[in-house]
Structure 1
Amino acid sequence: MSSHKPVVVVVDAQTPGNVGTIARAMKNFGLSDLKLVDPPPLDPGGEAYGFAGHAREDVLPNAEEVSFEDVVATYHTVGCTAITGEDSRRHRRFPYTTPAELADSLQTVDSRTAIVFGREGRGLYNEEIEQLDEICSIPASDDYPVLNLGQAATTVLYELRDLTVDETQLPDREHERAAEDDIERFYDYFGTFLDAQRYNDRKREKTQRLMRRLIGRAHPTGREIHTLLGALRRATEQLNHRQELLDQYDEPDRFGDETAGDGDTEQTGDDA
């Protein structure tokens, strides 16, 4: 991984709010070095600082105004654009990488890199693009691929987060898979559950195999597999109890022969 975090360069932004939005995205994703080429006025009481969030405390006030030529001469440059060449015959905007591909590429390069964003609406000019080292473009709908400047910067910086953020607010998603004997016990009890519901014998083997594949892909934790096992046990007990009740109702009346006629009444009348 590069020892240098990328710098962010915004060329000729027309709206102070977009500069503030980009500064905020930089703060979100662990970047602090903002370079501005021909920026609009950034009034501390104005739109840029209003949109910057906590980046108003460091990223935005420390932004440096530079020339485009200085950026090209100092950094390995990556120009961001929504418009790309259609094939290899057009070299200004081709070849290009997606932000995710750019992140993979920069993982293996130790260089001072500048991520360069252009103007709202018009982006980077062709003569500017020609001076940059790489082109990056965000995959978007062919019907409307042009993103707002702040949105584009946020998307690109998000994809670069593995290069710039050491730790996020999210908890560790790694977990320990349940012990294999516990998982096997679940599979065995799943068979018992199928028995309790009188499952179709012709489909049983396939169903058990599907359950094994499903659990195998899920990598359940010990707590998860024990919870599932507990639910299966309860369902099995209820099914067995229900079947016991049904079996009782299906038994022949043990007293039927002994009590036959007990309810008959003596016939009286003219025919007695």
Structure 2
Amino acid sequence: MSEGDVNDGEDARDADDADDGGDAGESAGNSTRRKPVVVVVEPETPGNVGTIARAMKNFGLSDLKLVDPPELDEDGEAYGFAGHAREDVLPNADEVTFDEVVESYHTVGTTAITGEDDRSHERWPFKTPVELRESLADVDAPTAIVFGREGRGLNNDELSRLDEVCSIPAADDYPVLNLGQAATVILYELRDLTVEETQLPDTAVTRAPETDVERLHELFGDFLEATGQREHRREKNALLLRRLLGRAHPTEREVHSLLGTVRKATTKLEHADYLAAKHDEPAYPRE
């Protein structure tokens, strides 16, 4: 881990010369927006530093800055918890001072405990992670997301020197998350600003061809008729299925599976009617 100024002697406010994260000039999507740096103030547990580094790697960030960190042994917890971030994010982390962060970045402090109203200026107003993402979406500025200590977080004096406050909504009786968990949640919510492409396909569902869906509706109508339901009930149930499939966006395979099942069920009902008539026996109970 290297020790040095946040900006390596440059003015981080200068968009052309700032060293505000190594990837400062890289983009998320087609934007030229600079990616935030992540700052951890006086972390006590090396494992949490490794967890944060891993979350950064997961969500497209690379610039980690540490204020008074513990010793990060390459054979210790930090590197053990970092996953592939042990190859770049963690060994390239900078040791900085809190003053350097405040002077060089637009800062967002994180806290679990917020003020109840504007009488507590240090912790009020605050944004949720989603609101923070929305507020940063149209802004290009060197930005630092600042996390505090495991046990105490950022104190009021520190928060009062930061520009914004972010807090994760959680259960009122236990709102305090583990440091690594909190960082993971916030970085996940900022992913639209930091990740160019995920492992997920462009679309989660490809809806079946409408001709297949309509064929299913036709067969379902035949099935309802074979059950012996009264016409008004059949019409109602047919409409319910149409609305259900309209919301569900079934895939081609799902529709084909249902087509086969409904077709077989209809055939069995029709055969039962045929046998009942042939042997002059009562048909199965109808409405």
- Measured against the shorter chain, the TM-score band is 0.7 to 0.9
- The whole-number CA distance in structure 2 between the counterparts of 1:178 and 1:187 is 13
User: Match for residue 258 of structure 1?
Assistant: none
- Classify 1:120/1:2 alpha carbon distance in 2 versus 1 (closer, same or farther; 3 Å): farther
- The whole-number CA distance in structure 2 between the counterparts of 1:179 and 1:171 is 20
Matched to 2:78, the amino acid is A
Question: Is 2:105 the counterpart of 1:75?
Answer: yes
- The whole-number CA distance in structure 1 between the counterparts of 2:184 and 2:138 is 23
Instruction: Number of aligned residue pairs: give it.
Output: 252
Question: Is 2:116 the counterpart of 1:107?
Answer: no
Q: How does 1:134-173 map to 2 (within 5 A)?
A: 134-173=164-203
Q: Report if the CA contact (8 A) 1:2-1:108 is conserved.
A: no
- The correspondence for 1:28, drawn from 39, 51, 58, is 58
User: Match for residue 214 of structure 2?
Assistant: 184
- The correspondence for 1:225, drawn from 255, 260, 277, is 255
Residue segments in structure 2 that go unaligned for 5+ positions in a row: 1-30, 283-287
User: Match for residue 127 of structure 1?
Assistant: 157
- The whole-number CA distance in structure 1 between the counterparts of 2:75 and 2:208 is 56
% same residue:
68
> What are the superposed Cα offsets for residues 76-121 of structure 1, whole Å, 9 maximum, x if unpaired?
1111110011123322111111112212222221112111100011
TM-score, structure 2 as length reference: 0.82
- The whole-number CA distance in structure 1 between the counterparts of 2:100 and 2:163 is 14
- The whole-number CA distance in structure 1 between the counterparts of 2:109 and 2:273 is 71
User: Match for residue 65 of structure 1?
Assistant: 95
> What are the superposed Cα offsets for residues 193-217 of structure 1, whole Å, 9 maximum, x if unpaired?
1011112434222211111111111
2:246 partner SS: helix
Which is further off, 190-199 or 240-249? Answer: 240-249
Matched to 1:210, the amino acid is L
User: Match for residue 250 of structure 1?
Assistant: 280
User: Match for residue 122 of structure 2?
Assistant: 92
- The whole-number CA distance in structure 1 between the counterparts of 2:194 and 2:117 is 32
Q: Report if the CA contact (8 A) 1:2-1:107 is conserved.
A: no
- The whole-number CA distance in structure 2 between the counterparts of 1:95 and 1:251 is 77
Q: Report if the CA contact (8 A) 2:225-2:234 is conserved.
A: no
- Classify 1:76/1:50 alpha carbon distance in 2 versus 1 (closer, same or farther; 3 Å): same
- The whole-number CA distance in structure 1 between the counterparts of 2:132 and 2:233 is 49
- Classify 1:18/1:251 alpha carbon distance in 2 versus 1 (closer, same or farther; 3 Å): closer
- The correspondence for 2:242, drawn from 199, 212, 215, is 212
Deviation at 1:229, TM superposition (A): 2.0
2:123 partner SS: coil
- The whole-number CA distance in structure 1 between the counterparts of 2:32 and 2:162 is 19
Deviation at 1:251, TM superposition (A): 5.8
- The correspondence for 1:43, drawn from 68, 73, 91, is 73
Deviation at 1:157, TM superposition (A): 1.0
TM-score, structure 1 as length reference: 0.87
RMSD: 1.8
- The whole-number CA distance in structure 1 between the counterparts of 2:181 and 2:280 is 70
- The whole-number CA distance in structure 1 between the counterparts of 2:80 and 2:260 is 54
1:115 partner SS: strand
User: Match for residue 19 of structure 2?
Assistant: none
Deviation at 1:174, TM superposition (A): 4.2
Deviation at 1:243, TM superposition (A): 1.8
- The whole-number CA distance in structure 2 between the counterparts of 1:53 and 1:203 is 59
